[in-house]
Structures are given as C-alpha cells and as structure tokens.
C-alpha cells in the first residue's frame, strides 16, 4: 500500500494551502461503504509486533475492531497474504513471518487468525474482505524464506526488481497458482470479499529493469509490444479471478484498489486532468478496463491527494472515476496516514478529510470510502476519527447493494417479540422462510423508536443493532425505565439485501 510514494511522485508540484470552503453536509446515508485497511506486512497495523501470544493477538484485534465499530466503520480490509505467505491456516503457503516472528512458524494449534477475524467482524456488523498481494513474494533482498516458500520451491516463477522477488505475471502457471491460492480462502472461509491493492507490476525505480524478456519470448500470446503484453497478463488474472470467485460463491465481492490515476489526459483524452504516475503506463494495470468489462464488483482508487494538490486534485480524480464506473461500485481510498504531515499544508487542516467525505457524498455515483490505515485513525488522525464518530459516521450504515450479484430480497423475520426484563428489553424472533434464491438470513437489523415516532426503516439514526450473524435474539440494555419503545426488525442476506420489517412490537420498560 502506498505511503511515501505519493509524495515523491509530485515533489515539485506541491501548492500552497488554500482554504477550502465548507462543503455542505449531505444527510448520512443508510447505505455507504465505510472500510479501513488493516495492514499486517511489517506489523503496520496488526499484530503490533511478531511473536505475540495468541491471547495478545486476539485482544489487539478485538480492540481494533471495537475502535472501528465506534467510529462507524462497516468493513475491515484485512491483509491476509503480504508476501506469498499466510495469515490463515487453510493455506498452501507458509505462515507469515509477521505473525509469529519467523516465516513458516505456526501459531498455537486450533488458532486461525482469519477465521477469528471474520467472526469478530460479523458479530459487530462489519464485513471482512481478505486483502491479497498477488505478485509480491519478498520485501527485501535479505528476506528470510522458509523451505516451503514458493521462491525456494519454484525460483523459476519469479523475477527480482529493486531487491524484491515478484511472481512473473507473464507465466500461465503463475496466474493459475495465484487463482488457486485465493480460491483456498474463497472456499474455506466465510469472507465477504476478496481485495487487491495497487501492487501489480512494480513501481518504477530508476536504473532498474523488469527481467521478463525470456517470458515474453516464450508466452508472447500474439503481442509484439511488451508493454501491451504486460497489461494483458494482469487482465488475464483479473478476469480469471472474477470468474473463479463467483463460480464458487456468487456473493463474495471482488474489489481492487489501484493507484489513483488511470491515465493522464495528456496521454489519453479519456484520462483525468492530472500530471503524475499512471496505472496504465508505469504499472501496466489497465484499471479502467477492469471495471468497464465488469471484472470487478468495486474499484477503490487510492486518491491520496488533497483538494489543493495541483498535479492531482482530490475532486478532479473523484469526478473522473465517478464518470468511469460503468455501473459498478466506486469507493474512494482516503489517506488517514497523511493527516498532520508537514509536507503539505492542506493535510494540517482538520477539515481536509471530513470535507473529502462531504464531497464524496455529494456525488451519487460514489458509494463510500476506505481509509489507510487502521493505526492512523488512533494516532495521527485521531481528530479525523472523532469527526467520523461524532458527526459523519455517527449513525450506522449498511454496505451498498450489488444487484448484479443478487437482487432477491430475503423474507422478513418471523414471530418477533419484545419483553421487558430487569436488565433491559429482550427481543426474540425466528429466521425467515427461504426466499426465491434459497437464502433465509445471514444477519439482522434492529430499529428502535420512542413512543410517538413513526416506525419505519429509512432513518439510520433509529438502528440500534446490525449483525452479520444468524443469532435470533438480542438484549437492548440501553433503555430508560418508565419509557415505552417500539421495535422493528429486518433480515439481511449475504449481499446485504434487506427484507421488509417485522413488527412493530411495543414494550414499556419496567
């Protein structure tokens, strides 16, 4: 994931800070993607260091999820494969070095970090997207690789660039292997999404050359231009993954978070009015094509720029991407890690990211945000997290619907009851009957209304509980004695389609 790279690209193009006028706040939507990247590589976000006990790892992850739930997030993007290694047990690759301190070293028997993370996220009404780095296999020339690592088992599948080993995307065997690695997770875990970040072919380093000439000669596939061939290699992987993921589980979302610029307008009239490194030319990643062809369910460009960044203004890129979504979802990658940094005055304005969110909400073709990264929201961007918790994300939101994957609405829950007890209001119900597609419920939304308020499900401020689990009871302890409340409940399917409500049921608190 990009951190410092964004600034090195445009070092000569930083503009003086210009105060941005306050963008009017649009009412918080009931559906909005609110994600946060949790990076495991080099222990950026979690675990805080390698070698922690299992209990320490679990407590850190629970604390992290509790923090993001309070902030209003509804999706965790967890990095599960940083360098061809794994944060999950059902893997053909060795355990990650950033888990127990040495690649290949297993944690305690019975502990599966990904399985644990999914359960904790779903209980808090948050999706869990498994974040993979498809090609990267090491972080430095001195990286230790276990005997079971692919760089040792099959060194012929890699090239080295900038001291890092990377799978050669031009090899059909590489593409097949990566697909199978990802399908291990799709088939073996209850994930909501599969997620790639911006690392495809390597970011350019002066004096370095990609050593894939022999692969090009062997697998040219009719291409005469190696640059077009490289882009096609990535396209082939993306298309194959889209087909494979949805073949096994139609409801698992596939999303990619590319660098923020597809092409600059000086390179292509279809490009954005920007002046910087581009996915298409430097990274051989035709990110616009993936969404145009419908190979991804969401695109999540990393627009790690301020409104006043002359080379690549935030608003310019949001507008450009919103005009190039082709009916798929657009979530904006936002740079929480840049808040309060010294290189650009705009990032020292506490309203920079809140205004970015307001700008995003003013565009109906943008469905949400993902923040890099988890730790930043409790360190440099604490003020931003406060703005989310107390204002912009004050009320819960459901993830946006994806009708191209599933538009069948579940049936409503049955036999909904409310009973006042000494500890609160006990709500019970039974699962709905199966809908046309065979689904019952994978989660529920509970709404509460004061006496005299109209019970309806459009207002997110009335939501008191979202869970992506199939439990059929809830204890509402946040009630006042002597008051009367009405409750509604709806069912959610795997893609968060929402049923009509059951209820209202009324109760007076004793």
pLDDT of residue 28: 82
What pLDDT score was predicted for residue 1?
60
Helices (H) and strands (E) in the chain, counts: 13, 17
pLDDT (0 to 100) of residue 120: 98
φ, ψ at 452 (rounded to 5°): 95, -20
Q: 59-64 — which CB contacts under 8 Å span 24+ positions?
A: 61/113, 61/116, 61/117, 61/120, 62/120, 64/38, 64/374
Q: Is the pLDDT of residue 15 over 50?
A: no
Going by C-alpha positions, the residue among 76, 21, 27, 20 that lies closest to residue 391 is: 27
Per-chain mean pLDDT for the chain: 94
Kindly state the percentage of the chain with pLDDT values over 70.
Answer: 95
Percent of the chain's residues with pLDDT above 90: 94
Residue range 81-124, pLDDT digits in tens: 999 999 999 999 999 999 999 999 999 999 999 999 999 999 99
pLDDT single digits (tens) 183-215: 999 999 999 999 999 999 999 999 999 999 999
**Which pLDDT score, from 0 to 100, does residue 510 have?**
84
- With 50 as the cut, is the pLDDT of residue 294 above it? yes
Residues 260 and 273 sit within 8 Å (Cβ to Cβ): no
Task: Tell me the three state secondary structure of residue 104.
Answer: coil
pLDDT of 6 reads 43
Single pTM value for the model: 0.95
First-to-final CA distance of the chain: 53
Mean pLDDT computed over 468-486: 96
For the CA atoms of 270, 275, 278, 280, what is the dihedral angle to 10 degrees?
30
Residue 19 has pLDDT above 70, yes or no: no
Res. 25: pLDDT tops 90: no
């Amino acid at each position: 994931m990009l951190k410092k790279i964004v600034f090195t690209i445009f070092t000569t193009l930083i503009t003086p800070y210009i105060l941005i006028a306050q963008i009017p706040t649009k009412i918080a939507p009931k559906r909005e993607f609110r994600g946060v990247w949790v990076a495991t590589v080099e222990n950026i976000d979690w675990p805080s260091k390698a070698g922690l006990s299992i209990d320490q790892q679990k407590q850190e992850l629970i604390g992290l999820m509790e923090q993001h739930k309070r902030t209003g997030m509804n999706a965790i993007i967890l990095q599960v494969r940083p360098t061809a290694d794994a944060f999950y047990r059902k893997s053909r690759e060795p355990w990650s070095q950033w888990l127990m301190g040495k690649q290949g070293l297993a944690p305690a028997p019975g502990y599966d970090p990904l399985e644990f993370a999914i359960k904790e996220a779903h209980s808090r009404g948050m999706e869990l997207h498994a974040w993979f780095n498809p090609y990267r296999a090491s972080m430095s020339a001195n990286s230790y690789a276990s005997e079971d690592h692919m760089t040792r088992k099959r060194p012929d599948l890699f090239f080295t660039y900038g001291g890092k080993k990377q799978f050669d995307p031009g090899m059909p065997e590489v593409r097949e292997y990566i697909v199978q690695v990802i399908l291990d997770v799709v088939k073996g875990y209850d994930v909501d999404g599969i997620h790639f970040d911006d690392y495809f072919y390597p970011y350019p380093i002066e004096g370095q050359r990609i050593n894939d000439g022999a692969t090009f000669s062997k697998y040219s596939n009719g291409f005469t231009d190696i640059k077009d061939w490289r882009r096609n290699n990535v396209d082939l992987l993306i298309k194959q993954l889209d087909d494979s993921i949805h073949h096994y589980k139609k409801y698992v979302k596939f999303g990619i978070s590319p660098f923020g610029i597809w092409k600059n307008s000086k390179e292509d009239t279809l490009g954005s009015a920007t002046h910087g490194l581009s996915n298409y030319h430097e990274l051989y990643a035709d990110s616009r094509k993936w969404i145009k062809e419908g190979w991804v369910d969401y695109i999540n460009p990393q627009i790690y720029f301020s409104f006043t960044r002359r080379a690549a203004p935030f608003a310019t890129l949001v507008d450009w991407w919103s005009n190039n979504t082709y009916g798929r979802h657009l979530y904006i990658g936002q740079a929480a890690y840049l808040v309060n940094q010294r290189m650009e005055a705009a990032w020292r304005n506490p309203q920079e990211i809140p205004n970015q969110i307001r700008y995003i909400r003013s565009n109906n073709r943008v469905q949400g945000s993902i923040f890099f990264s988890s730790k930043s929201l409790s360190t440099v961007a604490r003020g931003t997290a406060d703005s989310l918790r107390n204002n912009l994300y004050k009320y819960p939101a459901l993830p946006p619907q994806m009708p191209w994957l599933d538009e069948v609405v579940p049936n409503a829950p049955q036999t909904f009851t409310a009973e006042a007890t000494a500890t609160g209001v006990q709500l019970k119900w039974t699962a709905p009957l199966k809908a046309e597609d065979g689904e019952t419920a994978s989660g529920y939304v509970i709404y509460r209304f004061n006496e005299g308020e109209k019970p309806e499900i459009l207002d997110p401020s009335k939501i008191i509980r979202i869970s992506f689990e199939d439990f059929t009871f809830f204890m509402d302890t946040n009630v006042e004695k002597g008051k009367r409340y009405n409750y509604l409940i709806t069912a959610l399917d795997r893609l968060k389609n929402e049923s009509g409500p059951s209820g209202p049921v009324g109760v007076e608190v004793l």
